[in-house]
C-alpha cells in the first residue's frame, strides 16, 4: 500500500516537475507545479506529517500558487521567447543538472542502509507535538518570522502600488 502510493505520487511529482521544465507557457508550468505540490502533500501524509500535508495544500497550492496564477493572468504572460541567453543555459544547465542529481542520488544510494525505512502508521507527528516544539523551544524564530511576514506585506504593498 505504502509502496504503491509512493510510486504513484512520486511519479506524479517527477512528471509535474519535468512538465514545468518543458512547457513553454507559464500558466502550464504553474499548473504542473501545483500537481507537484499536491502530490508532495500526499507524500508528507505517508511520512506521518498530517498537519504539514494540509499546510502544504493550503499555503502552497491554495495561496502561493493562486498568487502566481493570478499574476500570470493579470500580466497576460504569453509564450516564452527564445533569446541569446538561453543556449548557454542549455549547455550548462542540462549537464549541471545531471551531475548534481548523480552526486546527490549516489550519496543517498550508498548510505541507504543507514537511513532505514518508513512504514505506514509507524510514526505520526500530531498537531499537539508540533505546537509543543514550535511555541516552546522555537518561540524566538517564530516571532522573528512573523516580523518578516509583516515587512514582506508592507514591501509588497509599496512595490505594487501605482505611482501617482
- In angstroms, the CA 36 to CA 41 distance is 9
What is the rounded distance in angstroms from the CA atom of residue 57 to the CA atom of residue 100? 28
Q: Is 121 in the site for another protein (CB under 8 A)?
A: no
Contact call for residue 101 and another protein (CB under 8 A): yes
54, three cell numbers? 494540509
C-alpha cell at 95: 549537464
- 85 contacts another protein (rule: CB under 8 A): yes
8, 108, 139, 143: which one contacts another protein (CB under 8 A)?
A: 108
Distance CA 10, CA 40 (A): 8
Q: How far is the CB of 25 from another protein (least distance, A)?
A: 9
* Contact flag: residue 152 with another protein (CB under 8 A): yes
Q: Does 42 bind another protein (CB under 8 A)?
A: no
Q: How crowded is the C-beta side of 164, counted as CA atoms within 13 Å?
A: 2
47 binds another protein (CB under 8 A): yes
Which three cell numbers, joined as nine digits, stand for 49?
Answer: 506529517
Interface with another protein includes 8 (CB under 8 A)? no
Considering only 8, 126, 139, 143, the residue that binds another protein (CB under 8 A) is 126
The answer to whether residue 139 forms part of the interface with another protein (CB under 8 A) is no
Amino acid at each position: 500500500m505504502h509502496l504503491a502510493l509512493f510510486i504513484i505520487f512520486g511519479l506524479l511529482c517527477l512528471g509535474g516537475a519535468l512538465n514545468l521544465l518543458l512547457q513553454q507557457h507559464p500558466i502550464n508550468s504553474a499548473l504542473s507545479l501545483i500537481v507537484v505540490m499536491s502530490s508532495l502533500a500526499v507524500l508528507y501524509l505517508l511520512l506521518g506529517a498530517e498537519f504539514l500535508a494540509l499546510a502544504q495544500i493550503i499555503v502552497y497550492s491554495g495561496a502561493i500558487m493562486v498568487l502566481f496564477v493570478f499574476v500570470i493572468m493579470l500580466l497576460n504572460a504569453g509564450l516564452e521567447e527564445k533569446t541569446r541567453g538561453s543556449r548557454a543555459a542549455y549547455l550548462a544547465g542540462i549537464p549541471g543538472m545531471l551531475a548534481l542529481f548523480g552526486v546527490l542520488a549516489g550519496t543517498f544510494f550508498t548510505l541507504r542502509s543507514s537511513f532505514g525505512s518508513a512504514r505506514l502508521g509507524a510514526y505520526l507527528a500530531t498537531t499537539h507535538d508540533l505546537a509543543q516544539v514550535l511555541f516552546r523551544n522555537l518561540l524566538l524564530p517564530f516571532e522573528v518570522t512573523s516580523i518578516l511576514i509583516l515587512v514582506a506585506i508592507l514591501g509588497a504593498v509599496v512595490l505594487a502600488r501605482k505611482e501617482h
